[in-house]
Amino acid sequence: MDMNNPVKAKIRKGVPVFGTWVMMGDLAAAEILARIGYDWVAVDIEHTAIGYETLRTLVCGIQRHGAQPFVRVEENDATVIKRVLDCGATGIIVPQVCSAREAERAARAALYPPEGLRGISISRATEYGANFQDYFRSINDQLVVIVQIEHIRGVEAVEEILAVKGVDGIFVGPYDLSGSMGIVGEFEHPRLKEALNRAARAAKQAKKALGYHVVAPDSAQALQRLEEGFNFIACSTDTLFLHHSATGMLAALREQAEKMYETDGRG
């Protein structure tokens, strides 16, 4: 197994990376997204019912089709992070990090000793022991650890969070962040914009990844975030891609069918 992580290399160079979310827990959806060419495809086990047995299958499928398998864990917990990484994830996204102490907890849970406290075991990540030595020697350097800034407290501590060793970047959760500020979903609100600007300045200063979830399957919105300096961009979700494509096609067909029906005099 190749232990080099292209996403980690791009982050170190400041090159933008693009990914998407798997919410359905369906292997076909995960493999399709991986084959398209996204740098990373993240399985979301925070907001879904996806379990560890399904997670292992999804991680395998994503990896097999050329993308890096990331996982958004359900909580900042050492056991959860260990189990996810043992499934073979090469990156983790940790929710609701509001302080440097919480960021350090996430990083130490993800890294093997002496840098961290991750438990050592024979698992899928090590090819069930066949690749143990290479994995153990390289994973601390190749793993991507992203912490989510989803509360105004996280923004207020963002400089200290980014200074934590082992944290490769931050990922802004716009809905939760706006909710913590009492302006749910008001993405053009000046206070939210200033919070995002502070996070962007801090990430640029620290030379670490700056992430944002463009929820709608809208390339114009993603391009806007790219121009604003975000360089770790999550593009919608499998569920929204499916909904957007299916509804768009049906709407176009119904509109044209109605025009044809009226034109031939049957209306």
Residue 56 in contact with residue 124, Cβ under 8 Å?
A: yes
The reported pLDDT for the residue numbered 262 is 78
Q: Which residues are tagged catalytic?
A: 47
In 58-161, beta strands by DSSP E: 68-72, 91-94, 144-149
Residue 147 in contact with residue 103, Cβ under 8 Å?
A: yes
- Lookup: tokens for 105: 């907890």
Residue 55 in contact with residue 73, Cβ under 8 Å?
A: no
**Cα separation, 29 vs 21, whole angstroms:** 10
Non-local (6+) Cβ contacts of 62 within 8 A are 22, 30, 31, 33, 34, 41, 43, 68, 69
pTM of the full structure: 0.93
Q: Which residues pair with 137 in a beta bridge?
A: none
Domains annotated for the chain, with CATH where assigned, are 6-263 (3.20.20.60)
The mean pLDDT values, 10 residues at a time, for the chain of 267 residues are 87 97 97 97 97 97 97 98 98 98 98 96 94 95 97 97 98 92 92 94 97 94 94 97 96 93 66
